[in-house]
Amino acid sequence: MIDYIFVTFKHSATLRKAVEVFEREPAASKLIRILCCVRSPRQQAKQFRGKELDVEQAVEPDEIVWEHLGVAQGSTSARKFLTYLVSLLVIMAAAILTAVVEGQRRSAESDYPAIKCPSETVRKEQAYLDVKGKLVPGGMNTGLMDCYCQ
């Protein structure tokens, strides 16, 4: 199956006329025409062996990656889709991980609030009793060990 044909013209006026005659139909118009099974005479004139021709002016030959001409459009589209899908999954995983870490940070802040050290120096015994939960009623650790270590 032939996917591409390159045609050369002797005169630029002939080139312009060919491009004008085979001007690409807008995608929306083509979709409506296909869905409604409408065949316009202009579009029928653009057919070759039952296939619609898409004609456009080619880039310069040195700008063509000739090795890519043998790669099927479906293969390229599948690889692009897979790349977009993997990228989307990575972005979603990063967003979820960020939300989880932020939740853990907030939880840690509420479980371990900022310590307000007393104005007097904390003694070693006070810090020890606080760690053991014996300094204040209810067995709460008030964080005096951090004040002692400063």
Select, from the ranges 37-41, 106-110, 133-137, the one with the highest average predicted confidence (pLDDT). Answer: 106-110
3-state SS assignment for residue 48: strand
pLDDT at 73: 73
Q: Are residues 34 and 98 in the same domain?
A: no
Q: Are residues 62 and 103 in the same domain?
A: no
What is the pLDDT averaged over residues 114-128? 79
Q: Are residues 9 and 66 in the same domain?
A: yes
Q: Are residues 119 and 133 in the same domain?
A: yes
CA distances in angstroms from 11 to 17, 53, 63, 145, listed in the order given: 10, 22, 22, 90
> What is the extent of the structural domain holding 92?
72-113
For the chain, the distance separating the N- and C-terminal CA atoms, rounded to the nearest angstrom, is 79
pLDDT at 44: 63
Q: What is the pLDDT of residues 48-103, one digit of tens each?
A: 777 777 777 777 878 877 777 777 777 888 889 999 999 999 999 999 999 999 99
Q: Is the Cβ–Cβ distance between 22 and 53 less than 8 Å?
A: yes
pTM value surpassing 0.85: no
Q: Tell me the residue type at 98.
A: T
Which residues lie below 8 Å from residue 129, measured CB to CB, with a gap of 6+?
135
Number of domains in the chain: 3
Quick one: pLDDT band at residue 143, thresholds 50, 70, 90? confident
Which residues lie below 8 Å from residue 73, measured CB to CB, with a gap of 6+?
3
